[in-house]
Structure 1
């Protein structure tokens, strides 16, 4: 996809007019139209940066330097899923806010969120596994009936759990 097509699709997905996007970048609507039509090939770096920021993508994405086929953030923006998220009745308002915030992050920040989420899931799994291990019977020694009775007495004694 050419840069002009990307600008057009992202602008439409965000519900911006030519004039609104131009105001965000600091140019006129005719300049935005020319970008979208591919009539201006040499954009200044500061304009590329402002344009990328306004469209919530990376400058590298706009320039075609990044492969983004698997980039969920740009796909979500391009497919107008913010509106779809709003229409999902099964999601709580806070969940909708989380999803919309995520898709509005720049790609590099979405990757940070993904990494942090994976770390938290790993920690959560380790905690879950530790609880399960604690609830199991010991296998390192032979457990006698007297030991089981003692353990059960402790588990059933409410004063032990205050």
Structure 2
């Protein structure tokens, strides 16, 4: 089923708000100013260049065919409460596929809309470990494909194992910094930026003892 211009502009607006992006942030991701991004939500997308449409679809994590009105947009359907009661926990994530969860935990953020997943991490802080029942914590992420500078994200590069890094993007440069003082930053430029895939933004950590 084809989308009308009105439907497409509404999709752009709803996805921007869902991802928490301002007009300036969306425009920067697409290489345009905030006024242009605002006009897209008014339905003025007839003359959008192909490269901008690709960038917009990537920023909003939707198919370019949806923006062309060729493909029907099928959003994720949240539960009746606006959030799942359980969050899947993964030992590791390879690429952008969330498979083979090792556990499911109660959602500690029942009033926050969105989809969540968790990564199991080993605690190596000797001062913190005695306070926990195990040396394991769950890092909980809200699923999203974009993030603001300085956000802690679960991210993969070229479909490799997911890492937890601080994310920064400047034009065609992406810098992934360690979340602690140890480790060196990773810098991607040019085409390498296209291999960076954000899986979600960190919203908190819980101990398995709490579930």
TM-score, normalising length from structure 2? 0.37
Q: Which protein has the larger Cα radius of gyration, Structure 1 or Structure 2?
A: 1
TM-score, normalising length from structure 1? 0.47
**Larger relative strand fraction:** 2
